[in-house]
Each structure stands twice: as C-alpha cells, then as structure tokens.
C-alpha cells in the first residue's frame, strides 16, 4: 500500500464513524437547507494575475510536524491581510494533524474562500464541507473513479461549491477533463512516494483546455518557481510548506508575488 492508499483507507474508516454519530441523510439535509454557495472559490482564481491559494497545515506525511506552534486562525487572517486569494485548510487528522474545527473557525472569521483540503472518498464529506463553511473541496483522481468524480461534481454544483480536481499524470488529467472538472490542480508532489518535481505542471499544462482553471500545487519555494509557473500559463498556485515555515507570512507572500 502507498501512503495515499493508507490515507484513503483511514479516511473511509473516519467517515464510517462519523456516519454513526450523524447519518448521511441528516448531514445532507442540513447542508441543503443552507443558502447555496456561489462558486466563490473558482471565481477568485479567474483574475488577470496568477492567484495564490495559501495553506494552513500543521504537519504532512513527508515532513512530519511543520508548525509546532499552530495559531491557525492568526495564520488565516495573516494570509487574508497579505492578499491571498483563497485559503486551503487541512482537516485530515492522522497524517496532517488537521481538524474540522480549524476550517469552521477560519471560514467564520475570514472573508476569502476556503478549500477543505482532505481526501474526499464519500459524498458525506462534501455535505460536511458545506456545513463547515468551505467554498471548495478536493477531489483526487488517484483515489476516485471517473464515475465518482462526476457524481461528486454534481453534488458540489447542487451546493454551489467548487471542486479542485487533482491530477498527477496524463491519464488523471484526461479523467478530470472527461468528468467535467472546471478546476484542475496538477500536483508536483507524487502522492504515492511524496517526491516533488516542479516540472510536472509544465509537462501536463498543454493537456488542459484554456477554459479550465489550472492550478499548480506543491514545490513552490521562491519567486523563481512562481515565475516559471506563471510563464506556463497557470491561473493559480497552491503554496503550503514554504508559507507555513515563514515567520513573516505577509513578507513571504509578497516575495513570492515578486514584490
């Protein structure tokens, strides 16, 4: 089993336990009773300039604990003040030490759209994301079938949520396009062994239609990386560890933007 397989299996167990406390029908009804979101996440990535999705995460499987001190709400507010277009919030508890509460509190206290960064393996998690205030969910091609992605995109549309559909190779990009993804994120990190290759976005860029929002994920360390991603025509970049390790996140984001 790869790490990704392990995470997906553990997430299925987590969802199964959650359903015992709050059944799917109950969570679905609550989510559908809320006002429909307005696809704010994808709208915020459509600017003329490259957009920045800034990540709140305490740990990762490859690096272990990244932020011993994790004032997640302060971090999110700092990102917003620094000019982030969106915030990605990890809610996976075992490997990333995330919590649903982080997302809920952040969405209640910032005005920019938030992505629930988790390993969506069940429709239940999409309804949960809406209840937590998220504007978007992550759908990873490596752990889903095309049919599941189509189904989950339909649920997102019903709720007004955006879906960042993540691909790592040619076959997964094709799957995302065929399923009807409006946002495709190319992960420069191989989630099977966690190696990073920033050239992955460049290799796959030509496969993604111009009317689909293209996000380059992982491996951004400095302004030269952002410049290279901008040059291949990416609409947005997702930055995690580099910002999490920066003491002055506003200064670091300005540096990445080339200011």
Digit-coded pLDDT (tens) for 139-179: 999 999 999 999 999 999 999 999 999 999 999 999 999 99
Q: Report the alpha-carbon angle 15-115-187, nearest 5.
A: 95
Q: What is the pTM assigned to this prediction?
A: 0.95
Q: What percent of the chain has pLDDT over 90?
A: 85
Could you give the CA distance from residue 230 to residue 227 in angstroms, rounded to a whole number?
A: 5
pLDDT over threshold 90, residue 124: yes
pLDDT of residue 219: 82
pLDDT over threshold 90, residue 251: yes
pLDDT of residue 174: 97
pLDDT over threshold 80, residue 198: no
Quick one: pLDDT band at residue 197, thresholds 50, 70, 90?
Answer: confident
Two tokens, residue 247: 């003491």
Question: Could you tell me how many residues make up the chain?
Answer: 259
Two tokens, residue 203: 């290799």
For the stretch 38-85, pLDDT in tens is 999 999 999 889 999 999 999 998 889 998 899 999 999 999 999 999
Could you give the CA distance from residue 253 to residue 256 in angstroms, rounded to a whole number?
A: 5
pLDDT over threshold 80, residue 194: no
Mean pLDDT, the chain, rounded, equals 94
> Which residues in 162-180 are b (16+ Cβ under 10 Å) and which e?
bbbbbbbbeebbebbbebe
pLDDT of residue 99: 98
Element (H, E) at 3: helix 3-21
pLDDT of residue 61: 86
Residue ranges covered by each domain of the chain? 3-256
Quick one: pLDDT band at residue 190, thresholds 50, 70, 90?
Answer: confident
Could you give the CA distance from residue 112 to residue 204 in angstroms, rounded to a whole number?
A: 29
Would you identify the CATH topology of the domain 3-256? TIM Barrel (3.20.20)
Could you give the CA distance from residue 253 to residue 82 in angstroms, rounded to a whole number?
A: 7
pLDDT over threshold 80, residue 192: no
pLDDT over threshold 80, residue 21: yes
Could you give the CA distance from residue 45 to residue 183 in angstroms, rounded to a whole number?
A: 9
Two tokens, residue 59: 């740990």
Give the catalytic positions in this structure.
Answer: 55, 57, 117, 166, 187, 217-218
């Amino acid at each position: 089993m790869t790490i990704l397989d392990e995470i997906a299996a553990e997430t299925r167990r987590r969802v199964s336990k959650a359903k015992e406390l709050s059944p799917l029908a109950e969570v679905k009804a609550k989510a559908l009773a809320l006002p429909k979101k307005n696809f704010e996440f994808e709208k915020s990535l459509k600017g003329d300039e490259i957009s920045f999705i800034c990540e709140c995460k305490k740990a990762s499987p490859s690096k272990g604990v990244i932020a011993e001190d994790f004032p997640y709400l302060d971090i999110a507010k700092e990102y917003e003040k620094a000019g982030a277009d969106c915030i990605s919030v990890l809610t996976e508890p075992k490997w990333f030490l995330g919590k649903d509460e982080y997302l809920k509190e952040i969405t209640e206290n910032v005005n920019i759209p938030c992505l629930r960064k988790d390993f969506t393996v069940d429709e239940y998690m999409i309804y949960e994301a809406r209840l937590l205030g998220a504007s978007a969910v992550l759908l990873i091609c490596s752990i889903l079938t095309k049919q599941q992605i189509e189904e989950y995109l339909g649920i997102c549309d019903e709720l007004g949520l955006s879906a960042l559909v993540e691909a790592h190779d040619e076959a997964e990009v094709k799957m995302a396009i065929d399923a009807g993804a409006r946002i495709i994120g190319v992960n420069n990190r191989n989630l099977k062994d966690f190696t990073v290759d920033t050239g992955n976005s460049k290799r796959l860029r030509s496969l993604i239609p111009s009317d689909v929002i293209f996000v380059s994920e992982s491996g951004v360390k400095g302004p030269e990386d952002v410049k290279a991603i901008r040059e291949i025509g990416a609409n947005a970049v997702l930055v995690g560890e580099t910002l999490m390790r920066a003491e002055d996140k506003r200064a670091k984001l300005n540096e990445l933007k080339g200011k």
